[in-house]
Amino acid sequence: MAKQPGKVVCGNPTTENPVNEPHKKLRPSGGYRKTASFQTATIIYDATWWFCEKFLDARSRTVDQMVQAARSGRQNIAEGSRASATSSQTELRLVNVARASLDELLLDYEDYLRHRHQPQWDAGGPAASAVRAVPRTFRKDPSDPTDLTDLSDAERWALYSRWLESEDPAIRANATICLIHQANFLLDRQIAALEAAFVEEGGYSEQLATERLKRRRQEPTAPPDPSAPQPPQCPQCGSLMALRPAKSGKTPGSQFWGCTSYPECKGTAKI
């Protein structure tokens, strides 16, 4: 009868881990594409790329700085999500880098408006409120359970296109500023949740040690051997003694009883 295929681990098939049984990770990672923070950062990156292409001199250093800041805000969210499998601290650090990059980009857009004597939208005004309200108002049917995160990148962009594709650079800049504030709010919540999880559950190394101890408790232990020599008490200090190999003398390599309080106590005994 043919043998059943097994999962290959380091070149050796094992029947304990069949091919169709996925390896379970200790900590989940990835999944960033479905997060609101990453999706908002993607819109910001695309909006910045096209804003710089249309309204700024391609030779300007500001273009490189704005595009790189927008890209960093997006890429570090993704990298942090992947790093979460093995390092909570790395994930936290990268998400904080994403947050700082978007702050840098925010200043660039504010500078653009200020240097050209263009007004920045009031946070509570009708224009900024309309941009912020998009996630709540995009459904035509209020009973539709579809969330903004379920849409494609093109569908999400279309919801903001009347601002982000405007011929007026001030409208584009102000709308992107609103989106940056939204992304920063989401990242602040994400960072707070990561910090709370780290305090509550510990880092990867701590969780790995916990899992190993749990596994060891489940493993059967061999019964004690009644014929094995039992450690005596040290004749000098009364502490328990342990078997030790002789490194020198007439019979190197042979065993003797040595005091466990060594080097404070140098008591020995023959077996």
Residues 6+ apart with CB under 8 A from 94: 76, 77, 79, 80, 83
User: For 155-204, how does the pLDDT look when each residue is reduced to its tens digit (9 = 90+)?
Assistant: 999 999 999 999 999 999 999 999 999 999 999 999 999 888 877 776 66
Flag the least confident range among 24-33, 97-106, 252-261.
24-33
Conformation bin of residue 267: beta by default, left when phi > 0, alpha when psi is -120 to 50: beta
Q: Is the pTM here over 0.85, yes or no?
A: no
CB-CB neighbours of 143 under 10 Å: 5
269 vs 259: CA distance, rounded Å: 9
Phi, psi at 111, each rounded to 5°:
-65, -40
Amino acid at 48: T
Position 9, amino acid: V
